[in-house]
């Protein structure tokens, strides 16, 4: 009996080795033959390319780090394994995974890291303000869900202090500041101001900020009943969900506000596309459904509204948070120029100074990505 057990054990061991070897071989072959896409629609980001080799990069460790990222980004069945990992960690009681807090009421909330570039960011805003010759420049910095929905974080979860950083930038930059924090806090119990599965605010959050902007600029905001408010999808799973890929997590609705009285011409100057709508409904068929707002990312968009209540002209220099705020602002400006300086090359301050019709400029960024936003370096 003992001899038979040893033989069975050896066979089991051999079978295990063969199985593991087969799996390793299969995954290696799959890695080699599978297509290496440049962009992940599921994660809404560009994937690591195979790094260029140099002795300097090897010495500094950049080549090895980038190679590890390349292998991780293109690993076969990556999304499946990410989801299994998230499910396992949640079952074990973890409430912070891949920089995401598993919050209350189904909220997935990104962690907030201590910023490193506050002085540089404030300096860029100040230099831009000084470079603009005629138009009135305003700055709005948007606190994210980790600040506004702090009570939904797991117990004892570090939240950082976005408001302290916001105040420091406000003081150091010297730019006229418009605060949306109070408006957001006032509305937080009435509407869903941030998506549960994405890092952006919802149209309701943007509407709250719009009322704050109007109050600061002496504009009468349009009441909600003036808009046609429509739910356009209920199966949105955003960028934060993609960090976990846990199929048990819920999804979000996307609601848009449209003023039926507007007569718009929306020109995307990089692609030469022209539309009469601020939303690209084709995008709701994609994974990144938030990209329906202003047709996602464009260096410069020019919007003309023939029915605006003034002849003033506005420049918005922004991150993606502004994409669902602009539909409210167009009601009060004959023309709105929207700059994404991560992609626009040339300096908006020169554009503003060369176009005498521009009366107002709004700098709008969210606090979670502001510290590393490459566009801030190109705003003037």
Q: What is the pLDDT of residues 101-113, one digit of tens each?
A: 999 999 999 999 9
Decide if 337 contacts 292 (C-beta within 8 A).
no
Which pLDDT score, from 0 to 100, does residue 18 have? 66
Q: Who has greater pLDDT, 300 or 242? A: 300
Neighbouring residues of 108: CB distance < 8 A, sequence distance ≥ 6: 100, 101, 102, 196, 197, 240, 241, 243, 244, 249
Decide if 140 contacts 209 (C-beta within 8 A).
yes
CA–centroid distance for 91 within its chain: 28
Closest CA to 97 of 105, 145, 106, 88: 88
Q: What digits encode the pLDDT tens for the residues 140-156?
A: 999 999 999 999 999 99
Task: Mean pLDDT check: name the lowest of 6-10, 216-220, 289-293.
Answer: 6-10
The alpha-carbon radius of gyration of the chain (Å, integer) is 25
Give me the DSSP letters along 57-115.
HHHHTHHHHHHHHHHHHT-TTHHHHHHHHHHHHHHTT--EETTEEE-GGG-EEE--PPP
What is the model's pTM?
0.81
Neighbouring residues of 67: CB distance < 8 A, sequence distance ≥ 6: 50, 51
Q: What digits encode the pLDDT tens for the residues 297-306?
A: 999 999 999 9
DSSP state of 177: E
């Amino acid at each position: 009996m003992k001899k038979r057990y040893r033989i069975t054990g050896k066979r089991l061991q051999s079978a295990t080795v063969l199985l593991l070897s087969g799996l390793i071989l299969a995954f290696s072959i799959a890695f080699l033959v599978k297509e290496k896409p440049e962009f992940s629609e599921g994660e809404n980001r560009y994937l690591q390319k195979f790094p260029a080799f140099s002795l300097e990069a090897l010495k500094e460790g950049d080549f090895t780090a980038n190679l590890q990222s390349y292998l991780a980004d293109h690993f076969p069945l990556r999304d499946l394994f990410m989801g299994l990992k998230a499910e396992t960690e949640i079952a074990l009681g973890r409430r912070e995974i891949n920089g995401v807090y598993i919050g209350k009421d189904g909220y997935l909330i990104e962690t907030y890291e201590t910023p490193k570039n506050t002085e540089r960011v404030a300096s860029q805003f100040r230099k831009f303000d000084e470079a603009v010759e005629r138009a009135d420049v305003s700055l709005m910095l948007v606190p994210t869900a980790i600040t506004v929905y702090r009570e939904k974080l797991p117990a004892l979860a570090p939240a950082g202090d976005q408001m302290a950083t916001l105040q420091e930038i406000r003081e150091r930059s010297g730019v006229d500041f418009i605060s949306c924090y109070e408006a957001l806090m006032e509305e937080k119990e009435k509407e869903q101001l941030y998506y549960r599965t994405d890092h952006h605010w919802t149209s309701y959050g943007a509407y709250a900020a719009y009322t704050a902007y109007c109050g600061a600029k002496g504009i009468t905001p349009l009441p909600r009943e003036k808009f046609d408010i429509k739910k356009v999808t209920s199966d949105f799973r955003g960028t934060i969900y993609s960090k976990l890929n846990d199929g048990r997590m819920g999804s979000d609705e996307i609601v848009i506000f449209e003023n039926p009285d507007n007569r718009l011409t929306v020109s995307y100057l990089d692609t030469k596309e022209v539309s009469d709508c601020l939303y690209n409904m084709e995008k709701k068929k994609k994974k990144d459904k938030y990209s329906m707002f202003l047709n996602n990312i464009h260096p410069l968009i020019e919007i003309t509204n023939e029915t605006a209540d003034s002849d003033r002209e506005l420049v918005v220099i922004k991150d993606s948070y502004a994409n669902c705020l602009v539909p409210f602002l167009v009601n009060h400006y004959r023309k709105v120029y929207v700059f994404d300086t991560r992609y626009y090359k040339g300096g908006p301050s020169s554009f503003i100074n060369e176009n005498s019709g521009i009366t107002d400029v709004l700098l709008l960024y969210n606090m979670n990505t502001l510290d590393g936003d490459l566009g801030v370096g190109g705003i003037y």
